[in-house]
Amino acid sequence: MTEHKTHPEQNGIALCVDLDGTLLKSDLLYESLLALLGKQPLLLFLLPFWLLRGKAALKHEIASRVELDAGSLPYDDRVVEALRKTQARPRVLCTASNTKFAQQVAAHLGVFDLVLASDNGVNLSGANKAKALVERFGERGFDYMGNASVDLTVWARARHAWVVNGPRGLAERAARVGTVAEQLPPTAAGLKTWIKALRIHQWLKNLLVFLPLLASHRFFDAEAVIASVLAFLAFGLCASGVYVLNDLLDLPSDRQHPRKRLRPFAAGRLPLLHGLFAAPLLTLTGFAVALLASPWFALVLVGYYAMTLAYSLRLKRIVMVDVVLLAGLYTVRIIGGAAAIGASLSFWLLAFSMFIFLSLAMLKRYTELSAILGSGRNTASGRGYSVEDLPLIQSLGAAAGYLAVLVFALYINSPESLTLYARPQVLWVICPLLLYWISRLWIISHRGAMDDDPVVFAVTDRASQIVIALCGLLALGAIG
């Protein structure tokens, strides 16, 4: 056990506060573990060996390899306010987290007179924490704020118990072993919070799996329609699993972002442990649904997952590689849709999708950098870009969008188009519509009015909806 004093001890009953789940709406063990995996994922295989030496040793090994930003962590404002109002008696941070992180938190808040935390030898939790507090302050010589069943041992020896963010029934159990002075209930995280964490609205991107079905004019092929629907669900489940994993690995950078800091895991509205369970469960369910659609589609989904995993762990930090990979991930959805229904891949469709989605990926980065510029910073946390790259990204992204229109224009007079469409000349009207749409998206982004995700913006924007509807009607008119 390690202790650290920041001020001389004062007389009076000490107010002792747990860190994980009480002062903090998160858990530093999982925070540091995720930071380690994001930095050195291969160290995952060493975790069992570290744990064999005890939980304190595990925390010490992780803490020695990563850094956490104490200023960006999601604190419980109610607890911080109570600490700031309490100055007539000692305030103690007493936590099972590693002493390195505990001292950083104490230094950031500046409200603690003493820090007791785990070191390489002692995990300061449960009975160990109760023993340490009794040795320092005496039996009933302290009040204790905690949030979990493991704190019952401490409350049994405290003067008063403060139950903070505890699960249902914990306050009643605490009352059986001690005196409950205060109860601060947790903020409810309902279905809406999970819907936001899973980013169900992002499933709109998975509508791309229906493009091969539409392009091959198999609208009334029931078997193909069912396979496409299964592909849509499989991509959605797998993508949600990836989004959760990405949010867990992106906690530090998300908390620096003006909008992403409000995401459920970054803001502490959902426990990190729940996310660690949800990510693989969603992914495995997605693969199970994929097998129902087609074994070939399941292989495509495996490739998609490998690409997204590589993106989350490393490639999103490499300039230009990230946007090319993002464009590729959109295109993989089209490839998956073709695999699900057994359709051959169209060169024209793949070329068009790569250019149009490269434009949208760059638009996404441009929007993020514009928001960073507006906040007074120069670089994107966790990315390889700076605000000086804005003009270049804008020109490259707009050029990619116009190239997509050029590919579509060349397709109109191709043999493939003449085979599928009775009146392919009708498709020419789509070209100016696409030019207008792409130009408008970039102008909106340049003015700072673009959503973080341009695909979601395009689906919800009225002008974009009209353009998409007109393009669909023109395509149907060209069939004859």
pLDDT top residue among 443 and 120? 443
Q: What is the pLDDT of residues 295-338, one digit of tens each?
A: 999 999 999 999 988 887 778 888 889 899 989 998 999 999 99
Q: Are residues 26 and 166 in the same domain?
A: yes
- Residue 29's alpha-carbon distances to 60, 71, 188, 193, 229, in angstroms, are 10, 17, 23, 23, 40
| Amino acid letter, residue 370 | S
Question: What's the pLDDT at 9?
Answer: 40
- With 80 as the cut, is the pLDDT of residue 111 above it? yes
Q: Are residues 222 and 128 in the same domain?
A: no
Q: Are residues 299 and 179 in the same domain?
A: no
Of 120, 149, 184, the last residue of a domain is 184
Overall number of domains in the chain: 2
Q: Are residues 355 and 229 in the same domain?
A: yes
Tokens of 409: 């224009």
Q: Are residues 124 and 218 in the same domain?
A: no
Q: Are residues 277 and 144 in the same domain?
A: no
Q: Are residues 255 and 126 in the same domain?
A: no
Q: Are residues 252 and 218 in the same domain?
A: yes
Q: Are residues 158 and 302 in the same domain?
A: no
Q: Any idea what the CATH number is for the domain that residue 348 is in?
A: 1.10.600
Distant-in-sequence contacts of 283-289, Cβ < 8 A, 24+ apart: 283/237, 283/238, 283/241, 283/242, 285/237, 286/233, 286/234, 286/235, 286/236, 286/237, 286/238, 286/239, 286/241, 287/234, 287/238, 289/230, 289/233, 289/234, 289/237
Q: Are residues 256 and 177 in the same domain?
A: no
Q: What is the pLDDT of residues 17-63, one digit of tens each?
A: 999 999 999 999 999 999 998 888 888 899 999 999 999 999 999 99
**What is d(CA 447, CA 455) in angstroms, rounded to the nearest whole number?**
17
H-helix or E-strand containing 417? helix 415-420
- With 60 as the cut, is the pLDDT of residue 380 above it? yes
Q: What is the pLDDT of residues 392-406, one digit of tens each?
A: 999 999 999 999 999
Q: Are residues 169 and 197 in the same domain?
A: no
| 8-17, 37-46, 160-169, 438-447: the lowest-pLDDT one | 8-17
Domain with 26, as residue range(s), is 2-184
Helices 321-341, 222-249: axis angle to 10 degrees equals 150
- Residue 94's alpha-carbon distances to 55, 114, 115, 161, 217, in angstroms, are 17, 8, 6, 14, 66
Report residue 376's pLDDT band, with 50, 70 and 90 as the boundaries. low
Q: What is the pLDDT of residues 176-213, one digit of tens each?
A: 999 999 899 988 778 889 999 998 888 888 888 998 88
Q: Any idea what the CATH number is for the domain that residue 82 is in?
A: 3.40.50.1000
Q: Are residues 265 and 125 in the same domain?
A: no
Sheet holding 14-17: strands in order across?
Answer: 2-5, 114-118, 91-98, 14-17, 142-146, 160-164, 180-184
- With 70 as the cut, is the pLDDT of residue 7 above it? no
Q: What is the pLDDT of residues 232-284, one digit of tens each?
A: 999 999 999 989 998 998 888 888 877 788 899 999 999 999 999 999 999 99
